[in-house]
Amino acid sequence: MLQVRVVQVAYGDDESVEQRVTRVAQLVRQQQDADLIVLPELWSHGGFAHSAWRARAEPLTGPTVAALSAAVRETGAVVHIGSLVERVASGSSPGPEGRGLWNTSVVLGPDGQIRATYRKVHRFGFGEGEPVLLEAGEEIVTSELTGRRGGGVTLGLATCYDLRFPEMFRALLDAGSEVFVVPAAWPLARVEHWQLLGRARALENQCFVIQCNTAGTHSGVAMGGNSQVVGPDGAVLARAGVGEEVLSVALDLAELEDFRSSFPVLGDRRLLPSSGHDS
Ligand SMILES: O=C(O)CCC(=O)C(=O)O
């Protein structure tokens, strides 16, 4: 069994980034006896605080990762710290569009060291926000996790809007994923899409899906909450409400193996001549 905590963080515009980082690090410290703790997308810098992103951005050696890294060492868990606006490290490439900013997810090991980073591939905003301010990530990322009670599992990393792109989850499946981890700042206005797409990505790939959303209202956008954990058969194992909340769920990895072998739909995949599209 993999003991998972999904920390659905609520915030508004009245809390500074520093206050929030301190508060959320404390929330992480309180999650004892977990194998995996998950936080939402951009919770420190503000999911929709577009105009503040450049000023708030920080390198992976910055204060958000440092504060979480210290908290993680007190939990003994692997912690997916959600994402932050990553500023290019000095001497590194600013990316093809020269912006030097990404929406980057970070997985920390129990020792507080970075195990994996994933730069969001699909930028959300339809002409504002991410597509005009941030670079797009160019790689899919998986990360191996060994539970404290033994038993390894492969995490496939995705962020928020990525959930709408099933081909990315297929690629993560083909890279060995058994559990997709999806931090988000998904608005309340489309929360039914969030619920449905998470279940679809789980069922079609026969994977667990851990979705950690944001709650509260910031930058004028009401967030949807409804973080959920979905089994490989598409069943919702736990779902949060619309306020700050921590979900505690045990994932039975043997159930995943049993379901994949008793209903072996993935073995019937057929690769069609072209999966590309004209743009
Ligand atoms: O796809 C959506 O409806 C929301 C996506 C989003 O808010 C994001 O990717 O930040």
Can you tell me the distance from the alpha carbon of 115 to that of 72, in angstroms, rounded to the nearest whole number?
A: 13
Mean pLDDT in residue range 86-108 = 96
The chain-wide mean pLDDT, for the chain, equals: 95
Name the catalytic one among 120, 135, 178, 207.
Answer: 120
- Count CB neighbours of 217 within 10 A: 16
Angle between helices 166-174 and 191-205 (to 10 degrees): 30
pLDDT value at residue 271: 83
CA of 243 to the centre of ligand 1 (A): 19
ipTM over 0.85: yes
Residues 225-236: pLDDT tens digits? 999 999 999 999
Mean pLDDT in residue range 85-110 = 96
Give the domain ranges of the chain: 2-262
Is 244 a catalytic site residue?
A: no
Tokens of 108: 């920390």
Look at residue 151 and tell me whether its pLDDT is greater than 70.
Answer: no
Mean pLDDT in residue range 124-153 = 89
Tokens of 253: 């990895």
Tokens of 160: 């928020």
pLDDT value at residue 21: 98
| Residue labelled with tokens 């990393």 | 157
Look at residue 105 and tell me whether its pLDDT is greater than 90.
Answer: yes
Can you tell me the distance from the alpha carbon of 76 to that of 175, in angstroms, rounded to the nearest whole number?
A: 27
Which range, of 41-45, 104-108, 151-155, 206-210, averages the lowest pLDDT? Answer: 151-155
Look at residue 150 and tell me whether its pLDDT is greater than 60.
Answer: no
> How confident is residue 146, by pLDDT bands cut at 50, 70 and 90?
confident
Name the catalytic one among 160, 178, 207, 212.
Answer: 160
pLDDT value at residue 246: 98
pLDDT value at residue 279: 53
Look at residue 255 and tell me whether its pLDDT is greater than 70.
Answer: yes
- Count CB neighbours of 19 within 10 A: 11
- For the chain, count helices (H), then strands (E): 7, 14
Burial of 242 per CB tally in 10 Å (0-12, 13-18, 19+): middle
Look at residue 30 and tell me whether its pLDDT is greater than 60.
Answer: yes
Look at residue 135 and tell me whether its pLDDT is greater than 60.
Answer: yes
- The rounded Cα 103 to chain-centroid distance in angstroms is 11
Q: Among the atoms of ligand 1, which is closest to the Cα of residue 160?
A: 9
Q: Among the atoms of ligand 1, which is closest to the Cα of residue 159?
A: 9
Closest CA to 259 of 217, 203, 214: 203
Look at residue 107 and tell me whether its pLDDT is greater than 90.
Answer: yes
User: H/E element holding 72?
Assistant: helix 63-72
pLDDT value at residue 238: 98
Mean pLDDT in residue range 240-266 = 96
- Report CA torsion sign: 267, 196, 104, 78: negative
Mean pLDDT in residue range 271-279 = 68
Q: Among the atoms of ligand 1, which is closest to the Cα of residue 189?
A: 3
- Count CB neighbours of 42 within 10 A: 27
CA of 160 to the centre of ligand 1 (A): 6
pLDDT value at residue 152: 84
Query: Candidates 3.40.109.10, 1.25.40.10, 3.60.110.10, 3.30.2130.10; correct CATH number of 2-262?
Result: 3.60.110.10
Ligand 1 proximal residues by C-beta, below 6 Å: 47, 124, 160-161, 164, 185-187, 190, 193
